[in-house]
Amino acid sequence: MNRRRLVLEIGAAVLLAAFGIWLLPRTLELFALINATVYVSMSLLALSLALIWGFGGILCFGQTAFFGLGGYAYAVAALNLTGTTGAIPIALLVPTGAAAALGYVMFFGRISDVYMGVITLTVTLILFNFVNSTAGDQWRIGAAPLGGFNGIPSTPPLNVPGDPGTQLTPEQIFAVAVGCLAGSYVLCRLVLASRFGRVVVAIRENERRAELLGYDVRLYKLGIFALGGGMAGLAGLLFANCVFVSPTMFSLFYSGQVIIWVMIGGLGTLIGPILGAILLQALATWAGTLRGVNPSLILGVILMLAVLAIPRGLLPTAGAALARIRGLRGEGA
């Protein structure tokens, strides 16, 4: 990708984010704005999977493990520290570290495709089961009871840095969330444009060849996986700020949904999964308001049709269609 296009895309992302931060709090009701914040945090989760799956070629069935860890790390740290500013780096470091450790086991153990899927899925299930069983008194970290099935409803929201007494309003948290999403998108773009990112994509294309060229494939995979884990953790932090942390963050349901969002949005793109996440969440909310029709039925049928009809996802299919139309016009001219 050339440098001009990169700068253009980054500029567009920043402008769009600024516009969203300006517009939505003025037009949406409070509860809709809180829902919008949930959408944004989920989009960030989808972006993190889009990075490691679409560009790193690593199919992670348990991206929610890092999402949940980020949320829990934030909640536990925020309850123990005065002020929540100090909890932010912890909420980023814990999932990044977990992803690095898991990545070490998988990539240095030379585990491939399906087996990697199973391991990531299993780790998520372990976390879900474990956190779900921490309702007893013995499970507390400092001042924070883990709460088991209940989760931690008393998760404190972010406060103004340096001023623990002033908590951010829902409007401000929405702005922070959009900022995080745009920032992460820019970060992904920059990473992929760097030498490191190009090697990662080369590995996805042909692992054997990249290895023969002298790259330590394991390290590159580990790097992109840990980055994705950290981003998922950030999404968890945002989620903890607009809902609260509970074991469902680790659930199979969410990990499945993220994969669906990325898949339908378009594997191998960054914007596609973000759009996919927003679109499908809106669809699920809409389906939930239908009387007599079960939302799972609608989502399931859509997913099946999508796999059969547009296996490459919405964005690439739309792009290809656009290119074809352009091509036809070009021929006509």
Partner 1 sequence: MGLAVAVGLQVLTGIATLFIISLGLAVVFGMMRVINLAHGEFLMMGAYSVILSVQAGLNMWVAMLLVAPLIVGAIGMIVERLVIRRLYGRMLDTMLATWGLSLALTGGATMILGNSVSGFSAPLGSVAIAGYRTSGYSLFLIAMAVLLFATTWCVLRLTPAGLIARGTMQNPEMAASLGVPPDRVYAITFTLGAALSGLAGALIAPVSGVVPTMGAAYIAKSFITVITGGGAMLAGTASASGLLGGVSTIGTFLTTPVLGEVLMLAIAVVLLRLLPQGITGRFFRRAL
Partner 2 sequence: MTVTRRMALKTAGMALAAPVVLRHAALGADPIKVVGIHDASGGLDIYGKPMIACLDFAVDEVNAAGGLLGRPVQLTNYDPQSNIQLYTQFATEAATKDRAAVVHGGITSASREAIRPILHRYQTLYFYNTQYEGGVCDRNCFCTGSTPAQNVQKLVPYVMQKWGKKLYIVAADYNYGQITSKWITKYCRDGGGGIAAADFFPLNVTDFGPAIQKIQQTRPDVVISALVGGAHISFYRQWAAAGMKSRIPMASTTFGVGNESLVLSPEEGNGIVCAFSYFQEVDTPANKAFLQKFHAKLGAAAPYLGGELAMRTYVGFNLWAEGVRKAQSIDRLKVIQALESGVENDGPPGKTVIDGKTNHVTLNVFLAECADHGFKVLQSFPQQPPSDTASVCDLAKDPNANKQYVIDVRI
Here the tokens at position 22 are: 């300006």
CB 80 within 8 A of CB 155: no
Least Cβ distance, residue 75 to partner 2 (angstroms): 14
One residue of 19, 22, 112, 216 binding partner 1 per CB under 8 A: 112
Nearer to partner 1, 62 or 83 (CB): 62
Least Cβ distance, residue 109 to partner 2 (angstroms): 31
Q: Tell me how crowded residue 201 is: count the other CB atoms within 10 A of its CB.
A: 17
Residue 109 in contact with partner 1, rule: CB under 8 A: yes
One residue of 165, 214, 292, 330 binding partner 2 per CB under 8 A: 292
Cα–Cα distance for residue pair 69/179, rounded to 1 Å: 21
Here the tokens at position 315 are: 């964005």
Residue 299 in contact with partner 1, rule: CB under 8 A: yes
Cα–Cα distance for residue pair 17/10, rounded to 1 Å: 11
Residue 300 in contact with partner 1, rule: CB under 8 A: yes
The length of the chain is 333
Residue 300 in contact with partner 2, rule: CB under 8 A: no
Residue 167 in contact with partner 2, rule: CB under 8 A: no
Residue 269 in contact with partner 2, rule: CB under 8 A: no
Task: Find the part of the chain contacting partner 2 (CB under 8 A) among 14-22, 179-187, 262-270, 288-296.
Answer: 288-296
Could you give the C-alpha distances from 188 to 48, 154, 214, 306, 315, in angstroms and in order? 9, 33, 25, 26, 18
Place of tokens 């793109």: 269
CB 250 within 8 A of CB 236: no
3-class secondary structure, 246: coil
Task: Find the part of the chain contacting partner 2 (CB under 8 A) among 17-25, 71-79, 243-251, 272-280.
Answer: 243-251
Amino acid at 238: L
Residue 241 binds: one of partner 2, partner 1, none (C-beta under 5 to 8 A by kind): none
Cα–Cα distance for residue pair 251/258, rounded to 1 Å: 11
Residue 133 in contact with partner 1, rule: CB under 8 A: yes
CB 198 within 8 A of CB 215: no
Q: Which residues bind partner 2 (CB under 8 A)?
A: 29-32, 34-35, 129, 132-133, 135-137, 147-151, 153-154, 243-244, 246, 248, 288-289, 291-292
Q: Which residues bind partner 1 (CB under 8 A)?
A: 59, 105-106, 109-115, 118-119, 121-123, 125-126, 129-130, 132-133, 252-253, 256, 259-260, 263, 292-308, 311
